[in-house]
A = this chain, B = another copy of it.
Amino acid sequence: MKLSEIVERVGGELRGDGSIEITGVAGIREAQKGDITFLADHRYEAFLASTRASAVILAKNGDLGDIDKAVVVVNENPYVAFLRAIEIFSPRDHDDPRGVHPTAVIGEGVELGERITIGPHAVVEDHCKIGAGTRILAGSYIGFRSQVGADCMIFPNVTVREDSAIGDRVIIHSGTVVGSDGFGFATTGGKHTKIPQIGRVVIDDDVEIGSNVSIDRATTGITHIQSGTKIDNLVQIAHNVVIGKNSLIVAQVGISGSTEIGSNVTLAGQAGLVGHIKIGDNVQVAAQSGVVKSVPANTQVSGFPAREHSVSRRIWAAIAKLPDLAKTIKRLSKRVDALEKQLDSESISQ
Contacts and interface: CB of A to CB of B under 8 A. Distances in A.
A213 B138 CA distance: 19
A2 to B, nearest CB: 16
A32 B221 contact: yes
Contacts of A164: none
A178 to B, nearest CB: 9
A315 to B, nearest CB: 6
Contacts of A34: 220-221
A105 B91 contact: no
B183 A173 contact: no
B177 A220 contact: no
Nearest to A253: B252
Contacts of A194: 86, 171, 208
Interface stretch (A59-67, A68-76, A128-136, A334-342): A334-342
Nearest to A194: B208
A305 B315 contact: no
Q: How many copies altogether?
A: 3
Interface residues of A, number: 124
B340 A180 contact: no
A154 interface: no
Contact of A214 (B159, B233, B340): B233
A221 to B, nearest CB: 6
Nearest to A343: B342
B329 A323 contact: no
Contacts of A35: 219-220
Given A186-B38, A322-B319, A339-B340, A196 B90 contact: yes
A217 B305 CA distance: 34
Interface stretch (A3-11, A12-20, A115-123, A293-301): A115-123
Given A24-B196, A32-B220, A274-B287, A246 B329 contact: no
Interface of A: 23-27, 30, 32, 34-35, 38, 40-41, 77, 79, 82-83, 86, 89-91, 93, 101, 103, 105, 119-121, 123, 137-139, 141, 143-144, 155-157, 159, 161-162, 171, 173-177, 180-181, 183-186, 188, 190-196, 198-199, 208, 210-214, 216, 219-221, 228, 230, 232-234, 236, 238, 240, 246, 248, 250-252, 254, 256-258, 263-264, 269-270, 272, 274, 287-288, 290, 304-305, 314-323, 325-326, 328-329, 332-333, 335-336, 339-340, 342-343, 346-347
Given A27-B186, A315-B320, A318-B325, 14 more contacts: A25-B220, A79-B186, A105-B121, A120-B121, A139-B139, A157-B157, A159-B174, A159-B175, A175-B175, A236-B251, A254-B270, A335-B336, A339-B343, A343-B343
